[in-house]
Structure 1
């Protein structure tokens, strides 16, 4: 997202009051509805929960930390970084106490820090499992950025670790907390225009004019290419349009036209997600698309809807066959973290729990399996 790279949301005012505690239409499928935690002590509703950001890259710097200056249920309490220079800069900028600053080696000492209630893992994907599990063992609730892990098995271990240690796990699916995508959930799941007939989704960027030395182009650190980083939005968009996951996928990798960049990960991939009632979602993602598509489109029996852009941090636009969607562009990271903190504080599951992340990893792995086998139809076992 070129226009988002250096944008500091802390310099703008956003509307925060849109759906802090809910994520849109009620999701009745077992893969969307999760039981509340077993009876236990209900947290203090007045307490703001302290969040420690693990990894101080662009997303933490430009979106999450500024958002935490505006949240009502949580605040920036600490940081975890391998860079002493960043640690000092953040300490000064956010007036953080020295005892709340950690590195990757002494991270486990966070267990004794009562200021920190939630650990937000914002690291390269291959590091998600390690630090989610370590946070769980430190008895801290966890928010983990998407995609959840590099494999479905790894994702399940993360869920198991949180369950074993009695803490909650949520995924950083911010689009469940903003009005345009929430409206798509309603339109599709509540059949406002009749039954959904088809879906199109695309999320792409252009990485071919930048550095070759970025973790997203390294399969060991990223787990894959644009499918992992951007395609997850298409998977999510199609699934929350339907209110249920696909039963099968078919996929093919695109031609590699920039081999210097894509020695290790795919340049692009197109895939179809087949739902049990015959609806097909046509999806695509790329790291070499100068158009930088951000589309989510649905067609039903009696109408249609479109978000374009659908996935950017700001500037979302939407319309239906009945006219333009009239929603504010909210500061969705504020809404996301406030909602997740509230659910943790009340000993409840987030609307985007770890189990949802596991489900999505199974879909991503099936897409890769199909593409690696020339487009073979792959049924997904949940």
Structure 2
């Protein structure tokens, strides 16, 4: 099955020649976040959902200093056996979707990383929280803001952390562009563009099933431009407009979006113009421009290497596997109380869900929808 995961990997490997072949180093130590993995206790993680992305996370975690796979949760016994062999997971740390509440009594598991279809996140998160374990949930955290807020509330009540799998919040080029923007290198920000899309394959996959996905391209790939607009601009949007186009109503049934263009308005007057689509390939680009300069990233959110440059030249900081860095940093957030440069908590996820809810509303009504994040 050709998925977004496959597409992002191929796109980043095959990135074309970009302008500004000369380079410069705007920060003497741009990789300091990666050098900052301090010795300390290990976060013991159970992976829930052993599909393609679950496998990617697991393989990346083999290089982690502060996080380790100690358990699995799956509805497929054969997958559990494979993972047990590969990651030396004992029988007592293996669960299915019916009995995983028993992790409450398992001291070998500190956190559960939920990597299942979107519509399952809410219920699974509530159960993990009730078991007293920290939750790491793949994005989108839920299928709407109401469910997302309920997840936040449940984790807060249980006294556990809820983190969302925003791997780009720890990526070196992303953090360097954010640093340059904060330090005024681009002057007053004026405009952001985010393009997120590819041609989706298998029409029977869960990402095209509204009951499991909660939507279509917006939930899967468009959320990158939503989230990116927020951390690149450095403000929270106050309104949204959107337009939807559907060329294949058989493949993209009611409630499953094929292509949506949307615009976000920010308090300072910055406008973000973004595209989310399952119908056009090779769309993975961020562009931020201010009065004094610009930053561009293409690929901007693929698995790497990320390619980036500004009006002064290339950045292209050294590539580190995103999921390795993410899990080490999340271990320090959970165990050490570390504060990330760009938030990855449940409240961050709810903000994106509020924007997605408003985009769907604006696409239907044709009107500008106010946002209060």
TM-score (structure 1 length as normaliser): 0.87
Q: Distance in 1 between matches of 2:306 and 2:338?
A: 30
CA contact (8 A) 1:189 1:242 kept: no
Instruction: Report if aligned partners of 2:9, 2:303 keep a CA contact under 8 Å in 1.
Output: no
C-alpha distance in 1 between matches for 2:355 and 2:188? 23
User: Does structure 2 retain, via aligned residues, the 8 Å contact 1:18–1:330?
Assistant: no
* Cα separation, partners in 2 of 1:261 and 1:172, compared to 1, 3 Å: same
Corresponding residue for residue 319 of structure 1: 309
Are residues 1:364 and 2:359 paired?
no
Give me the whole-angstrom Cα distance separating, in 1, the residues matched to 2:78 and 2:129.
27
Q: 2:33 aligns with which of 9, 16, 19?
A: 19
The offset of 1:326, in angstroms, is 3.6
Deviation at 1:213, TM superposition (A): 1.1
Residue from 238, 247, 256 that aligns with 2:238: 247
Q: CA deviation at 1:233?
A: 0.5
- Determine the structure 2 residue equivalent to 1:36: none
Change (3 A) 1:21 1:167: farther
Q: How has the CA–CA distance of structure 1 residues 188 and 348 changed in structure 2, closer, same or farther, with 3 Å as cutoff?
A: closer
The number of aligned residues is: 348
Cα pair distance change 1:6/1:276, threshold 3 Å: closer
* Structure 2 contact 192–233 (Cα < 8 Å) conserved: no
Q: Which residue of 2 aligns with 1:53?
A: 47
Matching residue within 139, 144, 147 for 1:151: 144
Q: SS where residue 33 of structure 2 aligns?
A: coil
Is the deviation greater in 181-190 or in 343-352?
343-352
1:183 paired with 2:197, answer no
The gaps in structure 2 that reach 5 residues or longer are 12-30
Give SS of 1:329's match: coil
SS at match of 1:232: helix
Which residue is 2:365 aligned to?
Answer: 373
State the 1:349 CA deviation. 6.0
Which position in structure 1 is the counterpart of 2:91? 98
**Deviation digits for residues 204-262 of structure 1 (CA, Å, limit 9, x no counterpart):** 0111xx321111001111111111111111011110012221000000102x2222210
CA offsets per residue over residues 125-183 of structure 1, 9 Å max, x none? 00111111111111101111101111111000001011101101111000011111112
Distance 1:240 1:220 in 2: 30
Q: TM-score normalized by structure 2? A: 0.89
Corresponding position: 1:353 with 2:345? yes
Q: Is the 8 Å Cα contact of residues 233 and 288 (structure 2) preserved in structure 1? A: no
> How far did residue 4 of structure 1 move?
4.7
Return 326-335 or 279-288, whichever deviates more. Answer: 326-335
Asked if the contact 1:48–1:73 (Cα under 8 Å) also holds between the matched residues in 2, the reply is yes
Aligned partner of 1:85 in structure 2 is 78
Residues 235 and 267, structure 2, Cα contact 8 Å, conserved in 1: no
Residue of structure 1 aligned with 2:160, choices 159, 167, 174: 167
The match for 1:25 is: none
Structure 1 equivalent of residue 252 of structure 2: 262
Look up the match of 1:230: 221
Q: Compared with structure 1, are the counterparts of its residues 19 and 293 closer, same or farther at alpha carbon in structure 2 (3 Å cutoff)?
A: same
Q: Does the CA-based 8 Å contact 1:18-1:178 persist in structure 2?
A: no
* SS of equivalent residue, structure 1 residue 19: helix
Unaligned stretches of 5+ in structure 1? 8-16, 23-43
1:94, distance to aligned residue in structure 2 (A): 1.4
- Name the counterpart of 2:287: 297
